[in-house]
Amino acid sequence: MKEKIIFLDRDGTIIYDKEYVHKIEDLEFLPGAIEGLQKLSKDGYKFIIVTNQAGMARGYFSHAQASAFNDEMLLRLHRRGITILKTYMCLHHPKVSGDCACRKPNPGMVHQAIEDFKLDPSLCLFVGDKDCDIDLGAQFQARTFLVDNGQYEVKSTPSHRIKHLGEISEILEKEGPAGT
């Protein structure tokens, strides 16, 4: 796929990161997230979510709850004109289910997306609020955006630090689009 693709983390990037909470009443979009994704959609970007959800391995929620929660978020995005190509979820935790290939910053979910969508990851953008999100994109030599919402300390060096998703479009206007 020769399209403009953005790999998005979910919690702390699109919605508030409330750690292991999977009740739909706790689903809340971060400031700037909807507007930012709408603007990027208009600019021709498509989105893939890659999210670590170790809460399932740890017994905080079931696979069904994790799916229902994510489906509800996708529905709310869709109603606002934002389409997510696919959500990849790592449900493992190293201390409970052992090491896996998919827990970010491991590249398993991106490798699956490469296979599913025939994309070149180095031409994609990677956006997230933790070291693992930035390290994920960096290993593919891609441009990375850190959503610095103050919740986690980040040691990695992203290409850009932003406060919310609404800032990405403007940066791309100056710097050039993804996919080229």
List the Cα angle 88/108/117 in 5-degree steps: 60
Return the one option of Zn ion, Mg ion, none that residue 158 interacts with (CB less than 5 to 8 A, by type).
none
For Zn ion, give the closer residue by CB, 106 or 169.
106
The Cβ of residue 26 has, within 10 Å, a number of other Cβ atoms equal to 11
Q: Which residue has the tokens 């689009």?
A: 177
- Sign of the torsion angle spanned by Cα atoms 91, 94, 97, 102: positive
> Which of 102, 110, 136, 172 contacts Zn ion by CB under 5 A?
102
For Mg ion, give the closer residue by CB, 4 or 130.
130
> C-beta of 104: minimal distance to Zn ion in Å?
9
The Cβ of residue 100 has, within 10 Å, a number of other Cβ atoms equal to 14
Per-residue contact string for residues 1-30; x = within reach of Mg ion by CB under 5 A: --------x-xx------------------
Q: For this structure, is 11 an active site residue?
A: yes
| Residue list 80-99, contact with Zn ion (CB under 5 A) | 90, 92
What are phi and psi for residue 159, nearest 5 degrees?
-65, -35
| Interaction between residue 131 and Mg ion (CB under 5 A) | no
Taking each helix axis from N to C terminus, what angle separates 168-175 and 33-42, rounded to the nearest 10 degrees?
40
Spatial distance between the Cα atoms of 77 and 34, rounded to a whole number of angstroms: 7
- Find the catalytic residue in 9, 129, 131, 135: 9
> C-beta of 174: minimal distance to Mg ion in Å?
26
Strand partners, 86: 48
Footprint of Zn ion (CB under 5 A): 90, 92, 100, 102-103
Enumerate the active-site residues.
9, 11
Query: What residue ranges bind Mg ion (CB under 5 A)?
Result: 9, 11-12, 129
